[in-house]
Structure 1
Amino acid sequence: MITTGFDLGIFEQAVRSYAHSQLPVSELKGPGFPLLGDHFSPILATLAPFYRLWPSPLMLLLAQAALFAVGVVPLASWAQRAAGRATALTVAFGYGISWGMAQAVGFDFHEVCFAVPLLAFSLTALGEGRLRAAVMWALPLLLVKEDLGLTAAVIGALVARRGRVRLGLVASAAGIVGTLLEVLLVIPAFNPGLQYGYWNNLSSGGANGAGLSAVLHAANCGLTVVLLLAPTAFMALRSPLLWTALPTLGWRFLSHNPAYWGTKYHYSAVLMPIVFAALVEAVATRPGGQRAARAHLAIGAAISVLLLPLFPLSRLADAATWHTSARITAAHRILDRIPDGATVAASNGLVPQLTSRATVSEFGLTGSRPDPEWIIVDTATPQTWPTSHAQQACDIDIARSHGYRVVTDQHGYLLLHRP
């Protein structure tokens, strides 16, 4: 129960829609909200057959883990062919425990999990001179998320630089035009407000802010770049493949949203196959090859190990990870009292426990569906989003004054129902 409605619940509602042959909608974003009006991620439909077989948020989490894991196959195989077994093992190890992957796995499910293997296969093909294959692996990025068309455009530019000028220019044009169409036409057409809702995130408030804001922006962005390159002992800087990271780093660092600047959440997952592909090419093209890079590879592996305790994979060594507390058991027992198909407003941390079988919205979030049949809230855990703990208590009092009665109140979980 450390997953949340934003974002695991949203993506389960999307995949659930596809599994029932409908365009994706998310009650969590608003009643009947069309998700193609939020981000352009139709590739999520590929999970629909699996969800029909196993309608659970666990399916999404395991699919994400599998997609991340697949990325190691082309990278390690290329490393072995180009620079030997030791390099392959170092790349596989570093990629597998990289902080970008750990942060993404530790924070729900996100559509970028599809981009990770696509980038790994594309950059491997690019590094090995299979330029047409590099383009074919890159173009599906347009179906993952609207900003990744720019990443595909950079791959096209690298293809042009490496000899296939026409192919590369066509790929770059497709990436740029695809992103523009998605942002300017497709997403606004589905969005209830007829606009792309994330333009405000692209303002340069963080970059051009004054005083402490500017210092924090520079410090966070600088730390992110250092931590990105450190597991390669900065050898990735030797490879032009690293240019592929620039679009993602660009929109993140130009944003005024501090969540984008640092190492939290899932935003760096797509950068991991890029830096390790750049590492492979750097070792393969360096005079002296693996022998000359041996010290750098050892340093990079050591840095990866040192970073491990700072990120979510360290939870595997925590005994509490493998123990189900009495409170969690009670929560599941209380959730089972909500019938399938009901409309429910739930605390953010309880949402994914219900999205597979009910119509769920966030309790306390402005714009949520009014008057759900059931309300379930966590009253023991301090709430910070989408409402404060004090405001949640106030909202509960309002709900009770509007006819909701207490079904049960145990272990800090309050279940309300209005007949």
Structure 2
Amino acid sequence: MALPTLRSVLSAGPARSAASPHLPARTTGTTADRSGGTRWVWGAAAVLFALYAALSVRDQQRILTTGYDLGIFEQAVRSYAHGQLPVSALKGPGFPLLGDHFSPVLATLAPFYRLWPTPMTLLIAQAALLAVAVVPLAGWAQQVAGRRAAVLVAFGYGGSWGIASAVGFDFHEVVFAVPLLAFSLTALARRRMRAAAAWALPLLLVKEDLGLTVAVIGALIAWRAGRNHRLLGLATLAAGVLGTALEVLVVIPAFNPGGQYAYWSGMPATGSDAGQGVAGLLYQATIGLVTPQTKAVTLVLLLATTAFLAVRSPLLWIAAPTLAWRMVSTNPAYWGTGYQYSAVLMPIAFAALVDGLGRWPGPVRTAWPYLVAGAAVTAVLLPQYPLAALLRPSTWHTGPRVAAAHRVLAMIPDGATVSASNRLVPQLTSRATVSEFGFPGLPLDAQWIVVDTADPQGWPVSGEQQQQDVAAAEAEGFRTVSDQDGYLLLHRGSGSGPGSFR
């Protein structure tokens, strides 16, 4: 099934059929205000792209990106660019990444990476994918509530904490899901059911858990579409459920060296809390979804950016699978508002906001206080999230240590095997085989070691442990080649063999 064009998605108006009570057809404002000129949304997307790209590129230039995760994804895309299945030395020697997460969508970046083999390719692609999602959301909002409301929706989405957190932390495969969801939900609300399914099904290639999101979209298609497209909805639902089951139970274990899906250990029923019994599982499925407080804060902030108007729309149910696996997980990193985990929630929340506007019981102008309140929440939260760094002078200043780092890194020949500090990894992954220095359990089989001794990141090991690992490497035959401004470069002497960490 061919994906719909952007023009067709933007130009299609709300449904005029009165057959479904689930989809309001009302619009507001003058005809010119509603349908005249959606070119500005592309301008909004261009501005967001520039902001996102600027932040990501400056992080890379200032050596603030990391091996976990930008380095891993660059190694994946680099593999695809050379006609190979994705592997990552950062996860282990020759580790097949399809045995970690099922994200073949990364192969779409391979032609661009082949032309420009640098992590910048991934960061700029991420900026474009996140920015283009504003096009269907704002275009739809203009038809429902007029241009001024659409501008607030564009600002709310573009500056939202979930998008800002993703931009501020490396690159991740889930950014492919953001525009797919925005276009799919816009089409769903406009009763363009085939387009909604066509935009949703590629989510199966983004990440294994997103099949459940596809399933919910399919359920809504079946519910909203009536008889004509009910079969389409049920087929989409089935494809989502079966796709996730196949990926998690068959495909990923087949590629994984351990023969299993590694992330089961984070689920209460299978991981460290497996013995908690029925009462414990019931607790996790109820009160445990909003406790500890971090979980409740995430849920409140998600809805607060829409001034809680999103709860008026059944589209909000599409966020349920992502929220469920995050909140029942035993990994605290999933519960909060940081990192990339909430990026997929933002197009869902703002699609639900626009749909909620269409369901407003009175004139849409009476919903304006809510729109302004939602935009105010976004504005208040902005300084706490990475986009605010664009306003800090330090972001645009490159310190002398960066130049020292690049002098040291330039001594490493292309094609070398290197074990590097986490922040130094993405500076090397385009031209060397790189592993994470100090990662417990991984063999030290590199010929070069480069670490930041003056400002250690503290992950995967503490600064003290890093010192001990450097001493152990020197005892195994590594010799100092350069030590500039805290950047230490070691090379394995002839006759010394591979070692290991702890």
TM-score (norm 2): 0.81
- Alignment match, 2:419: 345
Give unmatched runs, 5+ long, in structure 1.
none
Which amino acid in structure 1 is aligned with residue 115 of structure 2?
Answer: L
Contact 1:28 1:368 in 2 (8 A): no
Contact 1:283 1:289 in 2 (8 A): no
Residues 128-183 of structure 1: per-residue CA shift (max 9 Å, x gap): 11111101100100000000000000000000110232111110000000000000
CA root-mean-square deviation: 1.7
Residues 273-321 of structure 1: per-residue CA shift (max 9 Å, x gap): 0000000000012123421211101111111100100101110111110
Contact 1:78 1:124 in 2 (8 A): yes
- Alignment match, 1:70: 132
- Alignment match, 1:313: 387
- 1: CA distance between counterparts of 2:418 and 2:290? 39
Structure 1 runs (4+) deviating above 2 angstroms are: 204-210, 213-218, 287-290, 366-371
- Alignment match, 2:267: 202
Q: From 187, 192, 198, give the equivalent of 1:130.
A: 192
Moved more, 195-204 or 8-17: 195-204
Which amino acid in structure 2 is aligned with residue 362 of structure 1?
Answer: E
SS in 1 for 2:411: coil
Post-superposition shift, 1:383?
3.7
Number of residues paired by the alignment?
417
Contact 2:64 2:423 in 1 (8 A): yes
Contact 2:193 2:221 in 1 (8 A): yes
- Alignment match, 1:290: 364
Q: From 231, 237, 240, give the equivalent of 1:172.
A: 237
- 2: CA distance between counterparts of 1:200 and 1:216? 21
- Alignment match, 2:165: 103
Q: From 374, 379, 400, give the equivalent of 1:300.
A: 374
Q: Does structure 1 residue 189 correspond to structure 2 residue 254?
A: yes
Q: Does structure 1 residue 270 correspond to structure 2 residue 344?
A: yes
- 2: CA distance between counterparts of 1:417 and 1:175? 49
Equivalence map 1:50-61=2 (5 Å) = 50-61=112-123
- 1: CA distance between counterparts of 2:238 and 2:231? 11
Contact 1:111 1:144 in 2 (8 A): yes
Q: Does structure 1 residue 218 correspond to structure 2 residue 283?
A: no
Q: From 20, 24, 30, give the equivalent of 2:92.
A: 30
- 1: CA distance between counterparts of 2:444 and 2:397? 37
- Alignment match, 1:87: 149
- Alignment match, 1:387: 461
Give unmatched runs, 5+ long, in structure 2.
1-62, 494-502
Q: Does structure 1 residue 404 correspond to structure 2 residue 478?
A: yes
- 2: CA distance between counterparts of 1:383 and 1:80? 45
Post-superposition shift, 1:366?
2.5
Moved more, 199-208 or 277-286: 199-208
Contact 1:132 1:167 in 2 (8 A): yes
- Alignment match, 1:231: 305
Post-superposition shift, 1:231?
1.1
Contact 2:211 2:241 in 1 (8 A): yes
SS in 2 for 1:361: strand
- 1: CA distance between counterparts of 2:306 and 2:78? 39
Q: 1:214 to 1:381 in 2, by over 3 A?
A: farther
SS in 1 for 2:451: strand
- Alignment match, 2:16: none
Post-superposition shift, 1:371?
2.7
SS in 2 for 1:198: helix
Which amino acid in structure 2 is aligned with residue 99 of structure 1?
Answer: W
Contact 2:303 2:310 in 1 (8 A): yes
Q: Does structure 1 residue 324 correspond to structure 2 residue 398?
A: yes
Residues 18-38 of structure 1: per-residue CA shift (max 9 Å, x gap): 000000000000000000000
Which amino acid in structure 2 is aligned with residue 181 of structure 1?
Answer: L
Post-superposition shift, 1:215?
11
- 1: CA distance between counterparts of 2:100 and 2:477? 34
Query: Which structure: larger Rg?
Result: 2
% identical equivalent positions: 66
Q: Does structure 1 residue 8 correspond to structure 2 residue 70?
A: yes
SS in 1 for 2:483: strand
Residues 219-244 of structure 1: per-residue CA shift (max 9 Å, x gap): 11110011001111000000000000
Post-superposition shift, 1:81?
1.4
Which amino acid in structure 2 is aligned with residue 361 of structure 1?
Answer: S
Contact 1:347 1:376 in 2 (8 A): yes
Q: From 67, 80, 96, give the equivalent of 1:18.
A: 80
SS in 1 for 2:481: strand
Q: 1:289 to 1:34 in 2, by over 3 A?
A: farther
Q: Does structure 1 residue 255 correspond to structure 2 residue 329?
A: yes
Q: 1:35 to 1:67 in 2, by over 3 A?
A: same
Contact 1:30 1:367 in 2 (8 A): no
Which amino acid in structure 2 is aligned with residue 30 of structure 1?
Answer: G
SS in 1 for 2:418: strand
- Alignment match, 2:103: 41
- 1: CA distance between counterparts of 2:217 and 2:112? 31
- Alignment match, 2:214: 152
Q: 1:77 to 1:153 in 2, by over 3 A?
A: same
- 2: CA distance between counterparts of 1:215 and 1:157? 23
Contact 2:316 2:352 in 1 (8 A): yes
